[in-house]
């Protein structure tokens, strides 16, 4: 596939703006560690500090734990409800259901619009799998851990107030409110015999699940970190030195820390920034925050590609004939923000054909673009 000289020049320039070199990785790693240490010392969350949020999870599972527990996971566009039966031998059985979050509830007017929906889905899951929890009022409630994958200021194992929404959610009246209380209140309204006993980030859940499942005597490996690279990105690990806690509580035993590393370098002291990154950031509900996440995670990569394609289109270098043929419009997945999925980039990355025919077919399929190239 041949490109016009002008298009090739501009594409080459765009490629260079995204290049990451080895010396940058060394500097970024050093600054990342420095930012973690600053976050461990800073008692109050702020835009310029990596949050390093204490979770009040003070131990790691051994794999010998037993019992039936519930988990509810709000991590992005889906809500998952699970029941997990721990066997005590590093194994467990699980039942689960997944529910799509309606787009209008991601930007609902009131918190209870969303949390009422979540509570009803917990009720539906229990009616199908553990109906006794919906009818037995005088028995011990089922314990539920709430995996809530958004920045919270956690003050106890079962207390956490929302700092800000991310990942396309924007419900202003939830900010600074305890999300455990919101979920529990809506479960109580439905008379569901469930008690929310813990709140955790998805990375914390990943860490604890891996630790429970890992039989280190057999694998000769220890579970060190839980991390997420998906819609967003984040990590959690066990930290023994937490100055911002030990100074006030005298607690030096340590606990799991939710890093919220998506907020690494919000001040852009070291992270590179292209014009496309800036446009994508301006389109989000939280511009200026989670800038590391917005440069590397699944929710944003497809949009960065779309913005770059629009840039080339406006320069008259691509999609010109297609635009005319459609009567002055582009396919909606190119024209409308957030409709081009990051999955496309994965397929393009692994295409090693000499003529990139596979890439052409993929773009045509996901975007309804014809065989357009160069200045056409």
Residue 267: name the closest of 292, 304, 295, 233 by CA: 292
- Local structure of 86: helix, strand or coil: strand
Same structural domain for residues 179 and 316?
Answer: no
CA distance 306 to 208: 37
Q: Which of 238, 271, 304 is the last residue of a domain?
A: 271
Residue 105 domain flag: yes
Q: Domain count of the chain?
A: 2
pLDDT value at position 27?
97
> What are the pLDDT tens digits along the chain (376 aa)?
577 899 999 999 999 999 999 999 999 999 999 999 999 999 887 889 999 999 999 999 999 999 999 999 998 789 999 999 999 999 999 999 999 999 999 999 999 999 999 999 999 999 999 887 776 666 889 999 999 988 888 889 999 999 989 888 999 999 999 999 999 999 999 999 999 999 998 899 999 999 999 999 999 999 999 999 988 999 999 999 999 986 555 556 789 999 999 999 999 999 999 999 999 999 998 899 999 999 999 999 999 999 999 999 999 999 999 899 999 999 888 999 998 889 889 888 898 887 888 888 887 777 666 544 444 4
Residue 36 structural domain: 21-271
> In DSSP terms, which residues pair with 92 in a beta bridge?
86
Residue 361 domain flag: yes
Please give the positions annotated as active site. Answer: 149, 164, 202
The answer to whether 292 and 263 are in contact (CB under 8 A) is: yes
Q: Which of 215, 250, 271 is the last residue of a domain?
A: 271
pLDDT value at position 149?
84
Same structural domain for residues 314 and 263?
Answer: no
* Strand order from edge to edge, sheet including 225-229: 53-54, 255-258, 233-239, 225-229
Same structural domain for residues 32 and 153?
Answer: yes
The answer to whether 193 and 139 are in contact (CB under 8 A) is: yes
Residue 354 domain flag: yes
pLDDT value at position 374?
43
* Strand order from edge to edge, sheet including 194-200: 92-100, 78-87, 66-74, 142-148, 194-200
> In DSSP terms, which residues pair with 71 in a beta bridge?
82, 145
Same structural domain for residues 156 and 286?
Answer: no
pLDDT value at position 375?
44
Same structural domain for residues 72 and 157?
Answer: yes
pLDDT value at position 376?
43
pLDDT value at position 362?
81
Residue 152 domain flag: yes
- Local structure of 349: helix, strand or coil: helix
Greatest CA separation for the chain: 77
Same structural domain for residues 44 and 172?
Answer: yes
pLDDT value at position 372?
47
Residue 121: name the closest of 82, 159, 152, 158 by CA: 82
Same structural domain for residues 246 and 285?
Answer: no
Q: Which of 271, 296, 316 is the last residue of a domain?
A: 271
pLDDT value at position 266?
97
Residue 205: name the closest of 294, 42, 94 by CA: 94
Same structural domain for residues 352 and 286?
Answer: yes
Residue 151 domain flag: yes
Residue whose tokens read 């991590």: 75
This prediction's pTM: 0.83
Same structural domain for residues 81 and 131?
Answer: yes
């Amino acid at each position: 596939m041949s490109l016009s000289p002008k298009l090739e020049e501009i594409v080459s320039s765009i490629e260079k703006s995204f290049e990451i070199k080895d010396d940058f990785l060394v500097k970024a790693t050093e600054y990342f560690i420095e930012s973690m240490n600053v976050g461990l010392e800073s008692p109050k969350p702020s835009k310029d500090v990596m949050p390093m949020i204490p979770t009040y999870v003070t131990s790691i599972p051994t794999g010998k734990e037993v019992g039936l527990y519930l988990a509810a996971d709000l991590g992005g566009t889906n809500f998952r409800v699970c029941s997990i039966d721990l066997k005590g031998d590093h194994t467990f059985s699980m039942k689960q259901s997944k529910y799509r979050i309606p787009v209008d509830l991601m930007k609902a007017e009131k918190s209870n619009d969303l949390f009422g929906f979540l509570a009803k889905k917990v009720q539906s899951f229990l009616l199908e799998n553990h109906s006794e929890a919906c009818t037995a009022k005088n028995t011990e409630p089922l314990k539920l851990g709430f995996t809530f994958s958004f920045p919270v200021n956690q003050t106890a194992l079962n207390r956490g107030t929302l700092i800000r929404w991310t990942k396309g959610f924007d419900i202003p009246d939830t900010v600074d409110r305890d999300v455990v209380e919101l979920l529990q209140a809506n479960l109580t309204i439905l008379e569901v015999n469930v008690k929310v006993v813990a709140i955790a980030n998805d990375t914390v859940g990943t860490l604890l699940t891996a630790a429970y499942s890992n039989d280190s005597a057999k694998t000769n490996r220890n579970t060190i970190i839980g991390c997420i690279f998906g819609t967003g990105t984040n990590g959690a690990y066990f930290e023994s030195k937490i100055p911002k806690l030990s100074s006030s509580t005298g607690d030096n035993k340590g606990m799991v820390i939710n890093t919220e590393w998506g907020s690494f370098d919000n001040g852009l002291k070291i992270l590179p920034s292209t014009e496309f990154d800036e446009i994508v950031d301006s389109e989000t509900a939280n511009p200026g925050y989670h800038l590391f996440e917005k440069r590397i995670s699944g929710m944003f990569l497809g949009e960065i590609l779309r913005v770059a394609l629009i840039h080339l289109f406006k320069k008259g270098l691509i999609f010109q004939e297609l635009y005319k043929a459609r009567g002055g419009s582009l396919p909606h997945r190119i024209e409308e923000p957030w409709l081009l999925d990051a999955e496309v980039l994965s397929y393009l990355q692994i295409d090693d054909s000499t003529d990139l025919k596979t890439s052409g077919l993929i773009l045509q399929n996901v975007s309804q673009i014809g065989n357009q190239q160069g200045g056409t």
